[in-house]
Amino acid sequence: MTGTAVARLSKRQILRQILNRSGGLRLLEAVPAWSGLVALNYHRIGAPTHSLLNHALWSASETDFDAHVRTLKSNFDLIGLNDLNAAIGDASRDATRRRHRFAMITFDDGYIDNYELAFPILQAHNAPATFFITTDFVGRRRLSWWDEIAWMVRSSPRRMLRLSTPWFDGSVDVPTEPSSVLIHRLLQTFYLLPAQQTENYLDWIAAATGSGRAPAVLSETLWMNWDQVNELADAGMGIGAHSVTHSVMTSLSAEEQLFEILESRLIIEHAIGRSVSTFSYPLGRRSTFNVETRNALSRAGFDWAFSQYGGFVSGQPADRFDIPRVAVETDLDLSDVRAICALPQAFARH
């Protein structure tokens, strides 16, 4: 992170603290300073205590998530997929609708804690949410590449890891502790690789760490099953597609992108007996989808697609294939979430 980014983040923290202490957040919640939609993106609920997997995927504890839902439900029009078109689609020209502030809760991937921990909290508050499913995780019980990389680093018997070509420029030894720093660096390299190189890269990490590839048993209880996804849908939760393998779309050919997008839709529809018309991009950065991705979404019959690089929808009609979301991460507390929703102009940007 650059010095400028750190300074900007500090200014946001200072502004949030001022608003929180002065009662400004409460005033902004009561007297809207914007209209449109803020969508929040979660991954896991709970705590990563003693887990060897990627800790960055835990978005909030149960207690914190409960507080998030309660706050959103009290201060905003909390909507699900069925309300999306009325909120920001055809109704975007309706002056009454334009004065409303909408919020969405979304989850990516399909982790079991979404069902076991988040779902009861949502039901207790009668709150809608949308769950985007990676079909190979739920259907084939495959371990995600980010969790496998984390597991290999945290299981390493070695104190140093040599980052060497062909994956890195030059050769440098990096401590395996603190593990989060090394995991982040290895993931950043993975994001940039062509899809056909990712398995070789994981094999290289397995050898470099001395951990070997992660055992398949790790994924057996990590994900929801289709019965649980069905239960979410039966309870009124939205279900969307999040690709088959969670590959970065721009690392794939146009044909491979169409497969990931269309096949994930067909698998989910077959499993739950409901139509699926919404997609969320794996990783969701601007650089992770392109015109070929949009063309594939159109060909596959999708109506909406969500990104995840910050921002919110306001005023003008939304880009249906780039609905922005704000990532809820472990370093955000309730006041951060309140600030994002009360003044997204300042706090919903990455």
Determine the 3-state secondary structure of 313 from DSSP: strand
CB atoms within 10 A of CB 34: 17
> Token pair for residue 20?
């929180």
pLDDT of residue 3: 41
> Token pair for residue 252?
């794939």
Return per-residue pLDDT of the chain as tens, 350 residues.
Answer: 344 444 445 566 666 666 666 666 676 666 677 889 999 999 999 999 999 999 999 999 999 999 999 999 998 999 999 999 988 875 445 545 545 889 999 999 999 999 999 999 999 999 999 999 999 999 999 999 999 999 999 999 999 999 987 888 878 899 998 999 999 999 999 999 999 999 999 999 999 999 999 999 999 999 999 999 999 999 999 999 999 999 999 999 999 999 999 999 999 999 999 999 999 999 999 999 999 999 999 999 999 999 999 999 987 778 999 999 999 998 888 988 988 888 898 888 76
Tell me the CA distances in angstroms from 201 to 194, 205, 208, one per residue in order: 10, 6, 10
Element (H, E) at 98: helix 95-98
DSSP string across 327-346 = E--TT--HHHHHHHHH-HHH
Peptide bond into 178 cis (omega under 30): yes
Q: CA 284 from chain center: how many Å?
A: 8
Q: Residue 223's beta-bridge partner residues?
A: 111
Among all chains, which residue has been given the structure tokens 């289709």?
226
pLDDT of residue 10: 52
CA triple 183-188-189, angle to 5 deg: 100
**3-state DSSP of 41-105:** EECEECCCCCCCCCHHHEEECHHHHHHHHHHHHHHCEECCHHHHHHHHCHHHHCHHHHCCEEEEE
Sign of the alpha-carbon torsion through 292, 294, 295, 300: positive
> Token pair for residue 66?
């409960």
Which of 95, 83, 86, 168 minimizes the C-alpha distance to 127? Answer: 83
pLDDT of residue 112: 98
**Given the DSSP bridges, would you call strands 160-163 and 278-280 parallel, antiparallel or unpaired?**
unpaired
Query: Going from the N-terminus, what domains does the chain have, and what CATH number goes with each?
Result: 3-143+218-347 (3.20.20.370), 145-213 (no CATH)
> Helices 254-272 and 291-299: crossing angle, nearest 10°?
40
Q: Whole-angstrom Cα distance, residue 40 to residue 205?
A: 32
Among all chains, which residue has been given the structure tokens 């007996």?
273
